[in-house]
A and B are shown apart, each in its own frame.
Chain A
C-alpha cells in the first residue's frame, strides 16, 4: 500500500506493437550464450504465395550445444525456425516492465503471438533424445559401498556431551534455597517479561529447588491446568498489573 508506483504509459500511447513469441527452451539457452552485443540471429519476413512467412535463423556460432566457440559436430541446435503467427483474438495483452528501482512502465500492446518451431530433422531428433535421457535420470541415486565406513560412530565409554553435562552438574552443585524475598524478586522480574511460565523454566531462571519454588509460587501465583497456556504458572491477579491485557479486556468487555 505504501509504494504505489505511477505507471508510465508512454509505450502504450505510442502504440508500439509487440510480438509475444514462445521460444523453446534449448533455443533460449543458446541465446543466453550470445555475445555482449546480443546478436542471435536473423528474422526473415516474407510473403510466400500471399501468406506472410516469418522465419528465424540462428547465428552460426550459437548452434553449438556446449561452450560457446566450440563447434561440436555431433550435436547442433537446428538453425532454422519458422514462426507460427497467431493473432491475439481472445486476450488483450499488454506488456509492462519493472525496473530495478521499482519503476513500472507499460511497454506496449501485444499485436501478434508467435511460436518458434524448429525444423524437424535428424539432428533435432538426436537433440531431443539427449534431452529426454537427461530429464529421466533420477535426481537421487543409491550407491552401494564396498567397504563399511568406520570413521564415524565409534563406540565410546561415555559420550563427550554427557561427560560435559556431568561435569557441569557437579560444579554447580545442588541448588540452594535463597531467601524468600530474593526469590520473590526474581520471580516478579521474570513475570514482568512474560505472563506464563513453565515450572521448569522458572527453576532454570531462579536456580531454586523445585519444591521450594513451588511453595513460593503457590503463594503468589496460580497454576493453569487447562486452557491455552496449559500447565503453566502465572501470577495471581492481585499481583498483576499488565497494561495491555487490561486494555484488551476492556475491548472485549
Chain B
C-alpha cells in the first residue's frame, strides 16, 4: 500500500515475513544505560544458566538409606505436604538466571534475570531486515535484564551495620576492606604466617584505624605457644577418640585459634565470682572455708594471694588464668617471705578430706608447681628448694608424714620435676608430698626421704612412669560421675602428665577400651560412666 503523498514523501515497501520453522528462540538481553555496555567491544563471551537455585529444591533429599534416615520418611513427608496443602514450585530451567562472562576470566560478569509478564498481553517481535529487503519478524521468547556483578569484596549486612556504628571513629575507611581481606586470607591459609604478616602490616599501617585494630593479636601470638599444646590437645583428644585424628586436628586447631582470636582480657577481681566449682573436688570448697577463716587474721596481701591461689586451683579448666594468677601469686610470695602462706597452704593440704580425687591432686600440684615457677629457672623443678627452705624457716611445723600422699601424687610430682629439670633431687619429693597431701587418712605414710616414684598401682600407661593417666584414675573419675571424653582429657592435661597430646589421647583411648564404660547421652554428648 503506497502512501498518498504530501509534498515531500517517499515510500518504500517491504514485505514482512514471519518465518514459521525457526529452531531458534529469540530473547532480549537488556542492559542498563548507566553501565555503558558496548557489545561490539566484546571479544569473547560465555553464557550459562545459573543453577544455584537447584540446591534449594534438591535439599529436601536427605541421605537415603544411610544413618540418620527413617523408614518411610519420604512417604510421610509427602503425605504431610499434601495434608497442609504445601505446593512446592518446580525448578524450571527456563526461568533460571543467566550468567554472562565477557572477555574471559578477567572481564566483566553479568547476571541476567528473567523479566516476568513479557509475553502475557502483548507479543514482542524482532524485525530484522534481510538482504533482499524484506523484513523478518521473530517472536521474543523471553526478556532478561543483565546487571554487572561486582568482583570486589562487599560487606554483608551485619558487617555493614557494624561499620555504620563505627563510622565516626574510623578515619581510614580504606583499611576496613583491607582488614577483611587479610582475615579471609588467614582463615584460608597458614595461620601463623598470616598472623605475623597481619601484625607486621598493621604495624606498618599505623594509626587512625578505629576499632578494627586488634592489638591483642600479638599477645595471642605470645600466649599461643604455651597454650597451643593444651588447647589443641583438648580438641585433638576428641577427634582422636572418634578415631580420625588428621581432620579433627586440623579443624580443631583452626577452630581453637579462631576462638582464641576472640577478645582476651586479663581477669579482673571478681571475675571468678560466678564461676562453677567442679563438684568432684570436695576439698576445694572446704579449703576455701579454711582460707577464709585464715583471711581476717592475715594482712591484706596475703589473703588476696591465697584467694587467687585457691580460686585458680579450683578452676582447673581455666589454665591460662591459672598461670596468670600463679605468676601474680609467685611475685607476691617472693616479696613476702611467707611462713604464713606456706602455713596456709599446709592447712589446705591437710584439710583432711578423705576423698581421693586426682582432680584436686593435680590442681594442688599445679598450683604448687606454679608457685615454684619463678623461683628457679626450670619450670616446675624449683619447688623442692623453696619448699625445703620454707620448712627450714618454720621449726615449729609438725613433720608431716610426708606422705599420706598417694603414689599418684608423688609420682606425679616427680614427673613434673623430671620433665623440666635434669636431676630431680631427693628432697624435692618430700616437700612435694607434704604440699600435696590431700588424703592423709587414706594413704600410708612414706618416709620423707623417699624419692623414687613408685609405679602406680594397677596398670600404668606404657609410655612413662606417669601415674596420672592410669586406668585407676580414669576409673575413679568415671565412677564418680559421667564424663565426656573431653572432660576426661581436661583432667589429664599434658602439662601435668608430661605426655604429648597424641600420647594422652592414645593412652586414654586404650584405657577406655579396657574399662569399657557404659554410655549415656546427655545433652547430645556421649558420657561414659561406671557403676561399681
Contacts and interface: CB of A to CB of B under 8 A. Distances in A.
Interface of A: 1, 3-7, 9, 12-13, 15-25, 28, 31, 34, 36-50, 53, 55-57, 80, 89-100, 104, 106-110, 114, 190, 193-198, 201, 229, 232, 237-238, 240, 242-251, 253
4 smallest A-B Cβ distances: which pairs?
A245-B67, A242-B67, A46-B11, A19-B127
Contacts of B45: 6-7, 9, 106
A250 B235 CA distance: 11
Given A100-B23, A114-B127, A240-B67, 7 more contacts: A24-B122, A45-B11, A56-B16, A92-B31, A195-B68, A196-B68, A245-B68
Interface in B447-467: none
Contacts, number: 244
A47 B9 contact: yes
Given A15-B40, A28-B139, A55-B1, A201 B121 contact: no
A108 B40 CA distance: 9
Contacts of B122: 22-25
Most chain B CB neighbours (cut-off 10 Å) among A23, A49, A243: A23
B28 A95 contact: yes
A97 B3 contact: no
Given A47-B9, A98-B25, A6 B127 contact: no
A201 B253 CA distance: 44
Contact of B8 (A22, A38, A50, A104): A50
A53 B3 contact: yes
Nearest to B40: A12
Nearest to A246: B242
A55 B135 CA distance: 13
B70 A229 contact: yes
B70 A253 contact: no
11 contacts: A1-B51, A6-B45, A12-B42, A34-B18, A39-B15, A46-B10, A47-B10, A91-B32, A108-B128, A248-B67, A250-B239
A44 B2 contact: yes
Contacts of A19: 126-128
Contacts of A198: 70-72
Given A21-B124, A39-B17, A196-B70, A237 B519 contact: yes
B66 A244 contact: yes
B26 interface: yes
Interface string B129-168: 1000001111111000000000000000000000000000
Given A57-B1, A93-B31, A95-B27, A40 B70 contact: no
Given A9-B45, A194-B71, A38 B17 contact: yes
Contacts of A47: 8-11
A89 B15 CA distance: 28
B205 interface: no
Interface in B157-190: none
Contacts of B11: 44-47
Contact of A95 (B19, B26, B68): B26
A5 B66 contact: no
Most chain A CB neighbours (cut-off 10 Å) among B7, B14, B247: B14
A94 B39 contact: yes
Contacts of A107: 26, 126, 128
B69 A43 contact: no
B121 A25 contact: yes
B471 interface: no
A178 B124 CA distance: 73
B248 A194 contact: no
Contact of A244 (B10, B67, B100, B129): B67
A40 B137 contact: yes
Interface in B10-59: 10-20, 23-33, 35, 37-40, 42-48, 51
Contacts of B38: 92
Contacts of A15: 40
B29 A93 contact: yes
A92 B46 contact: no
Given A47-B10, A195-B67, A96 B29 contact: yes
Contacts of B6: 48-49
A250 B244 CA distance: 7
B65 interface: yes
B125 interface: yes
B12 A44 contact: yes
Contacts of A248: 67-68
Nearest to B141: A98
A106 B128 contact: no
Interface string B195-228: 0000000000000000000000000000000000
B12 A97 contact: no
A96 B248 contact: no
Nearest to B252: A253
A206 to B, nearest CB: 12
B63 interface: yes
A199 B251 CA distance: 39
B238 interface: yes
B123 interface: yes
A39 B19 CA distance: 8
Contact of A91 (B31, B40, B251): B31
Given A4-B48, A7-B45, A253-B248, A97 B128 contact: no
Contact of A21 (B27, B125, B244, B247): B125
Contacts of B139: 28
